[in-house]
Amino acid sequence: MAAALTTVDHSALKVNQAGIVVTVLVAFIGGLFFTPLLFLIPLLAIVLLLGTFVPQAALFKQLYFRVLKPAGIVKPRPVQDRPEPHNFAQGLGGVFLVVASALLLPLQVAGLALALLVAVLAFVNLAFGYCLGCQIYFQLGKRGLIRA
Partner 1 sequence: MSPQLWALAVAGIVVLAAALFELVRASRARRAALICEGAPSPDPYILYFTGEGCTVCRTHQEPALAKLGGVRIDKVDAIVQRDLAESFHVYTLPTTVVMCSNGKALHVNYGYASARKLEGQLAEARSAIGASVTA
**Least gap, CB of 113 to partner 1 (angstroms):** 4
User: Which residue, 94 or 133, is less far from partner 1 as judged by CB?
Assistant: 133
Q: Which helix (H) or strand (E) holds 118?
A: helix 108-128
Residues that bind partner 1 (CB under 8 A): 2-3, 5, 8, 10, 28-29, 31-32, 79-82, 84-86, 108-113, 116-117, 120, 129-131, 134-135, 137-139, 141-142, 148
**Least gap, CB of 92 to partner 1 (angstroms):** 14
User: Which residue, 67 or 79, is less far from partner 1 as judged by CB?
Assistant: 79
Q: Which helix (H) or strand (E) holds 145?
A: none
Radius of gyration of the chain from Cα atoms? 16
User: Which residue, 84 or 91, is less far from partner 1 as judged by CB?
Assistant: 84
Q: 71-85: b or e for each residue (b if 16 or more CB lie within 10 Å)?
A: eeebeeeeeeebbbb
Diameter of the chain measured on Cα atoms: 53
